[in-house]
Amino acid sequence: MRALPLVVLAIALALPAPARQPKPAAPVALSPAPTLTADSETRWVPFDLTPGNQIAFRMTINGRGATAVLDTGVNFTLAASAFAGSIGLKATASGQAAAAIGGALPIAWAPVESVDFGGLSRHGGRIGVADLSALATGTTQPVDVVVGADLLATHALDIDFDNRRFRLLASGRMPFRGTSVALSTAPQTGTFQVDATIGSARLRPLLLDTGDGSTLTVSREAWTTTRLPDVGLTSAYAVGLAGPIETDLVVLPQVRLGTAPARNIEVRIEPPRGYSTLTGTAGRIGNGFLQRYRVLLDPKARRMILSPGKDADRMPLKSTSGLLLSYEGKALRVLHVMRGSPAATDGWRAGERICAIDGAKLPDDYRTNRLGQWPAGTPGRTVRLGLCDGGPERALTLAAFY
């Protein structure tokens, strides 16, 4: 069984409207469109899902190997500052994104010679350069590149989650059968958008965000239109490129995407005037939703195809402890205590550090070890937690609370 992710993460980024864009220090040429090789259809790219539930793979920039995550919620490709420096990318202009999850994100621009992965290549153009922390990108180590919609919007993207691989295809291809959902691109950013129905409310547009590890996130304003009662809500924690945010959390029996009913969906509700509201969207759909399917994203053909995978209707793994944790080298740091949870009742606080579970120190393979399942363990079980500060052990009895 896969370990419960220690923290649920989200990445999204949007440039402001042209009239509001910061003036760059120097003109930056637009990037050319990427092209596909003749054998692109056969060139599957293997990937892993990170602890933050993101698609991690290998690519090259200027012929140099790089670790990357696939992020349709970012309108342009970003390189980490440290990686850009290591391969000699020189920033020629700077600016600031209007909105990223958690705040605003400073951006620089650098010209590149080539970008390649799978059957896709782009020669010339630019990429953004920014500080990409490990926490914000959902990995145990910082990634080098976040691949955005500028490289993905001109072709079809076929993501086979069950077999952990993806490929790029010519637009218009239909490599498998499934339910068709209308897909559009935002006029200013080119990011992907769809509509969904919760209760009797149609939420539009929703950002389709493969860089977001969550399932479905909606704005507080959009949630209000569903007229659903705030029953079963708790709180949760997410981290974006620009910082952390706290959301409400509920699991709904059904959400409809086009004509396709999706069951047992975890929904996060942003605070008033959160990221979605500021960027003119009703929310976003992340990998927690998409990985239930084989997915074809074809923005030029204006459609998304969903074919149910092996776990399409599974119930999401629920916390029974109420502790959202970050694994930090032999210790667990409490990032957030969920509202109404056993941990909240017992007085746990963000920032506390756990070094032992039921008398056992955290092993090197904690993330995949069965010991790491305890935050979502069987209700009624009592877990003994040893704090790193040497204080007395604390007992926490697990319970279903949302």
Are 77 and 128 in contact by the 8 Å Cβ rule? The answer is yes
What domains, with CATH codes, occur in the chain? Answer: 13-167 (2.40.70.10), 179-308 (2.40.70.10), 323-397 (2.30.42.10)
Pairing of strands 78-80, 145-147: antiparallel
pLDDT tens, residue by residue, 374-384:
999 999 999 99
pLDDT tens, residue by residue, 150-175:
999 999 999 999 999 999 999 999 99
β-strand partners of 269: 218, 248
* pLDDT category of residue 394 using cuts at 50, 70 and 90: very high
Reported residue count of the chain is 402
pLDDT tens, residue by residue, 170-195:
999 999 999 999 999 998 888 999 99
Q: Return the H-helix or E-strand segment holding 288.
A: helix 287-290
Would you state the torsion angle of the CA atoms of residues 186, 273, 210, 145, taken in this order, to the nearest 10 degrees?
90
β-strand partners of 266: 251
Q: Which of 114, 96, 94, 113 is nearest to 105 (CA)?
A: 96
Distance from the first to the final alpha carbon of the chain = 22
Q: What was the pLDDT predicted at 131?
A: 87
Would you state the torsion angle of the CA atoms of residues 348, 326, 240, 206, taken in this order, to the nearest 10 degrees?
-80
CA distance 393 to 294: 45
Q: What was the pLDDT predicted at 100?
A: 54
Burial classification of residue 255, based on how many CB atoms lie within 10 Å of its CB (0-12 exposed, 13-18 middle, 19 or more buried): buried
Bigger pLDDT: 325 vs 140:
325
Amino acid at 46: P
pLDDT tens, residue by residue, 74-103:
889 999 999 999 999 998 877 655 445 555
